[in-house]
Amino acid sequence: MPWERVKNTVLLTATSPQLERDALQYACRLLQEGSLVAIPTETVYGLGADALNPKAVERIFQVKGRPADNPLIVHVGSLEQVETLAAEIPGRAVRLARHFWPGPLTLVLPKLDRVPDITTAGLSSVAIRMPAHPLALKLIDVSGLSIAAPSANLSGRPSPTRAEHVLEDLAGRIEAVLDGGPCPVGVESTVLSLLAEPPVLLRPGGVTLEQLEAALEERIIDGTAPLDHGEISKPLSPGMKYRHYATEAPLYLVEGQGERQLKQMLGLCEGFQVQGRKVGLLVTDETVPFFPRLLVESLGSRNNPPAAAAQLFQALRRLDARGAEVIIAEGLEDRDLGRAVMNRLRKAAVEIIKS
């Protein structure tokens, strides 16, 4: 076998056409026999298993330490494959799939009985998407499987956007990681429920609310609305109620704009330094010069939300790795992909400071 093992987890690299064929075949066999393989997608790495095999799916929950009431997204390779999972495919689903698939949009539809309860955490609906990463699509095609795949991290940690992040969290716990390079979108898919009319946004992600409304030519209910981290009384989607994406160092999110936001960040930083704590900063390029000689990770320019999304999880992991004892994060505007970034930062934060 040409591949390296890390604590017994095979790192399947696919850097030549021959290696890619072999890696896909190897990964395919593992999935078919009920094993776990982390797979690259355009959003984040997913922890893949055969979605219709309850034993395999059960291991996903065990390995991640994922709460049993948080359902999984099932990955397919075509709209036809959706018919093998969903009891009903409304016109809106077809329209959205034609428009955004393959891509970072997950649709929640009524499920067929053959989808095991454990996959959907006992719900009568199933979340489905077609990923845009070529290796993920090839794997679905070659295996003929529908692949359940939540993010391939330990539950609660920042999601993995590189194969090495998966190994950091899961080496020795899963059979293999298929290395497809860095994930270009960098935040998880948008989750949209089509169980009722009008549709309800359950998680902001790679496809924006504005894009969805434009494609459907109708309003969508934003079910994610004010989510100051922590509990919301009646979550529409199980995943909404958990703290997520957390760094080891406590993260303070400073929302707002302009000079007031900057002053808040400078003040906080000084306060932590007086306490003798090593401060890490997660800021935009425009803010970097105000924090010279400090531990800084940039999210790119404030005017480029997609770049911020692509950098986000990696930057969080790096701040931990570089020894930050406390993290101050600069809030972005709640627009475009900034909405998805802010959703993740609010869930990662121990405290949100509004300026």
Residue 326, phi then psi, degrees to nearest 5: -150, 145
Q: Which residues contact 2 (CB under 8 A, 6 or more apart)?
A: 19, 22
Q: How far is the CB of 244 from Mg ion (least distance, A)?
A: 7
Q: Is residue 123 a contact point for ligand AMP (CB under 6 A)?
A: yes
Among 5, 30, 4, 11, which Cα is nearest to 178's? Answer: 11
Angle of helix 91-100 relative to helix 209-216, nearest 10 degrees, comes to 120
Q: How far is the CB of 103 from ligand AMP (least distance, A)?
A: 15
- Contact segment (CB under 6 A) with ligand AMP among 50-58, 164-172, 234-242, 334-342 equals 234-242
C-beta closer to ligand AMP: residue 237 or 264 = 237
Which of 41, 53, 120, 208 lies at the binding interface for ligand AMP (CB under 6 A)? 120
- Contact segment (CB under 6 A) with ligand AMP among 25-33, 65-73, 88-96, 345-353 equals 65-73
DSSP annotation of 188 reads P
- Contact segment (CB under 6 A) with ligand AMP among 48-56, 122-130, 251-259, 265-273 equals 122-130
Interface characters, 135-154, with Mg ion (x: CB under 5 A) = ----------------x---
Q: Which residues contact 62 (CB under 8 A, 6 or more apart)?
A: none
The item of ligand AMP, Mg ion, none sharing an interface with residue 239, based on CB under 5 to 8 Å by kind, is ligand AMP
The token duo for 160 is 């993995």
Q: Which residues contact 171 (CB under 8 A, 6 or more apart)?
A: 6, 7, 8, 9
Q: Is residue 73 a contact point for ligand AMP (CB under 6 A)?
A: yes
CA distance 23 to 18: 9
The site for Mg ion (CB under 5 A) is made up of 151
The site for ligand AMP (CB under 6 A) is made up of 70-73, 108, 120, 123, 125-127, 150-151, 188, 191, 202-203, 237-239
